[in-house]
Amino acid sequence: MSTDNVTKVSSKITSKNQITIPKTVRELLNVHSTDTIEWQIEPNGKVMIVRSKPDLWQLVDEQGKKFGNLSTTEIDWGKDVESDDFD
């Protein structure tokens, strides 16, 4: 494996076992505050962090929040235009 394009950054683990993902990593992975990342751990201890793709139900929830769902009440558009007589 070539190390020519390796970017190294570090993070500190807090007392609550939390870390902040460095800005460089967020930019390289194109992740934002609501995204999910995956930690892929190999048997030799090597860890890879990748941007996780949302599963179907995450997409459904996001679309439901944005556009509503089957239980969302329908918008009242007013009186039906076809009911008027046009002569």
The conformational region for residue 30 under phi > 0 = left, psi -120 to 50 = alpha, else beta, is left
Note the pTM of the prediction, 2 decimals: 0.52
Tokens encoding 55: 């599963």
Provide the pLDDT for residue 66: 83
Residue 70: band (very low, low, confident or very high) from pLDDT cuts 50, 70, 90: confident
Tokens encoding 42: 């190999």
pLDDT (tens digit per residue) in 6-23: 888 999 999 999 999 999
Give domain limits for the chain.
Answer: 11-71
Q: What is the mean pLDDT of residues 74-80?
A: 69
Q: Which residues contact 30 (CB under 8 A, 6 or more apart)?
A: 51
pLDDT (tens digit per residue) in 23-69: 998 998 888 887 888 999 999 999 888 888 877 887 888 888 888 77
Pick the CATH number of 11-71 from 3.30.1280.10, 2.10.260.10, 3.40.710.10, 3.50.50.60: 2.10.260.10
Are 25 and 8 in contact by the 8 Å Cβ rule? The answer is no
CA distances (Å), 47 to each of 42, 58, 76, in order? 6, 25, 53
Provide the pLDDT for residue 17: 95
